[in-house]
A and B are shown apart, each in its own frame.
Chain A
Amino acid sequence: MSIATEREAQAPDDIPPAITGRWSSLAKEVLGTPRVVVGLVIIGALVLMAWIGPLFSPWEFDERDFFAFRSPPSAEHWFGTNTTGRDVFHMTMVGLQRSIVIGLCAAVATTVVAAIVGAFAGYYLGPTDRVLMWITDLFLVLPQFLILAILYPVLRGSEWPVFVILLAGLMWMVTAKMVRGMTISLKEREYVLAARYMGVSSGRIILRHILPNMSSLLIVDITINVSGAIILETALSYFGFGVQPPDVTLGSLIAEGSRQALAFPWTFWFCTGLLILLVLAVNLVGDGLRDALDPHSRRRS
């Protein structure tokens, strides 16, 4: 995206402006919204910190300092140490990495599922629609948190990617309903009708003509789902139904820290602060994107 904008900015003035493509005009919109830029900068900083930070830390991830149990932040342990003498800074950074990756993957997977279910239901209508919407309603009735918790004994031994798939499997419903609504209105547009009369197959129409035309909705949705996934993961980890040790996420660190938040505040406040900052930044980007991409909401906030 940034390469496209740079190229545009460097274009000499005397050449008539080329018709801007979807992506470069999108980039221009996005970079013109201060909230999005602020959010992206914070996210970028957090990503850098999460992946580069541990390299500077003098302690290893699972190394224990037997001379400093529960010691407050110092030059040696930047975020202090926990009950077993592990370096909180290093653990927090690793947890931040995991939370970012889980949030991103789960959000993308959620949106893909939602787009496919919603678009097929809205395009075919009739029995397909009824069956798909019944399944959607059924999933909406079941609290996601509960299902994930019930499935926990099966999950116990598995790695975090399984967890991501499950998160996605339980978060797609609301978006699917939105996509379905938009598909119903899009399928009567001239370009879709033209494609259909030319004999393009239904599957291809959905993937090539309908979904790309709601890409702005889908992009916004991915951002919203990132924060949703991170928050759901935190809740699950708090009850021990989330990612299993020795793997850590911000959620499991918060869970551990919250039990001693008063006596040893550093085990709680650092990971909590980073989590709030991360979700806040993602929400800022999502909210800004929605305003930038939705022509009806130009005058908001």
Chain B
Amino acid sequence: MAKFLIRRLLSSLILVFLASSLAYLLAATTLSPRSNFEQQQPPLSAEAIERELDHLNLNDRTPLAERYATWLSGVVVGDFGQTITDQSVNEHIARKAGVTLRLIVVGAVIGATLGVAVGAYSAVRQYRAFDRASTVVAFFLLAVPTIVIAVVLQVTAVWINDVTGRQLLEYGGEYTANLDAGFWGTLADRVQHAILPTLTLVLSLFAAFSRYQRNMMLDVLASDFVRTAMAKGLTRRAALFKHALRTAMIPTITYFTFTFGILIANATFTEKVFGWHGMGAWVVDSIVTNDVNAVAAVTCFMAVCVMAASFLSDVLYAWLDPRVRVS
């Protein structure tokens, strides 16, 4: 098992490397940092533009292979280069990665848990009121793009705040600037700001997971080993939890890996709509400002996240499925 995981880890590292290289090459060929400097006010002289571009390793007159080699030699020692405004990309990552990770991890944990719980329960209560209601809600949510969920939540928050006359829900930024309210006050402020963005991620994840888990659970409930478990005298609850749910969660774990990429994209939209300064919002901005190094760094970050999720799901898989552990 350990050998399998180590092999997986190695191949993930290679994939992350290839993915970020590909993103760098794509970004370096399609984005044009030169136009940024040419449009600057006051206008820069031709030599100054060349100097700036060379300094940032963004000069399109340098052959692509050479620029890539320069970029790579930095990345190997952990330096992602400079942003287009000549700041360290690494510092930006250090500041922004936490914001995105917090959003993704909290959203994924709440969304997946809620989805699995609701899906499994509605399979047990198939065709009852709870099942019907959760199916309708999930179907509806699946049809709404995350962007729309985010915007609608924002609009609703404005409306609720208007009606109640108090600032109940915050919908812009991650925290109130210059707030001086002690530890608990700051924490409450952060939670207040985090509710809507997290809810956006949770809703879309919940819909996908509850549908999937319900189908898997229905397959398992009809199988012989659940009947056997009850026949040998286990209570219904024990049989459902220890035998049915555990087995039905195995395909869901695999499904989690596939949805993780979508989750990251959703986090991007959420950050952008709610004005959080995370990696996702940063990448959208850097594409607009032709910031090649930043785009490559964010792609690398996202690839690492996807690989980490798939690694985690391998571990969970081994934990749930004894056959994997033994072999």
Residues of A within 8 A of B (CB): 137-138, 140-147, 149-154, 174, 227, 231, 234-235, 238-239, 241, 254, 258, 261-262, 268, 272, 275-277, 279-280, 283-284, 287, 296-297, 299-301
Contact B26 A296 (CB under 8 A): no
- Cβ–Cβ < 8 Å partners of A239 in chain B: 272, 284
Given contacts A238-B269, A284-B139, contact A142 B30 (CB under 8 A): no
B148 lies within 8 A of chain A by Cβ: yes
Residue of B135, B222, B265 with highest tally of chain A CB at under 10 A: B265
Residue of A nearest to B131 (CB): A301
Given contacts A144-B261, A280-B139, A297-B215, contact A150 B30 (CB under 8 A): yes
Q: Identify which of B15-23, B37-45, B92-100 touches chain A.
A: B15-23
Q: What bracket does the count of chain B residues touching chain A fall in?
A: 35 or more
Shortest Cβ distance from residue A271 to the other chain B in the assembled complex, whole angstroms: 10
- Cβ–Cβ < 8 Å partners of B218 in chain A: 297, 299-300
Return 18 A-B CB contacts under 8 Å, by A number: A137-B15, A142-B23, A143-B265, A143-B302, A144-B261, A145-B265, A146-B298, A147-B26, A153-B30, A153-B32, A235-B147, A235-B269, A258-B151, A268-B151, A275-B145, A276-B143, A276-B144, A283-B139
Given contacts A258-B151, A272-B152, A284-B139, could you give 10 more A-B pairs where the C-beta distance is less than 8 Å? A138-B22, A141-B307, A142-B19, A146-B298, A150-B23, A153-B30, A174-B258, A227-B142, A254-B151, A276-B140
Bound form: Cα–Cα A144–B262 in Å: 9
Shortest Cβ distance from residue B67 to the other chain A in the assembled complex, whole angstroms: 16
- A138, A154, A227, A235: the one within 8 Å of B19 (CB): A138
Given contacts A144-B261, A150-B31, A234-B148, contact A279 B143 (CB under 8 A): yes
Contact B148 A276 (CB under 8 A): yes
Bound form: Cα–Cα A234–B144 in Å: 10
Contact B143 A283 (CB under 8 A): yes
Q: What string of 1s and 0s marks CB contacts (under 8 Å) between B130-150 and chain A?
A: 000001000110111111100
Contact B299 A296 (CB under 8 A): no
B194 lies within 8 A of chain A by Cβ: no
B303 lies within 8 A of chain A by Cβ: yes
B306 lies within 8 A of chain A by Cβ: yes
Contact B261 A140 (CB under 8 A): yes
Residue of B26, B145, B264 with highest tally of chain A CB at under 10 A: B145
Contact B26 A262 (CB under 8 A): no
Bound form: Cα–Cα A284–B23 in Å: 36
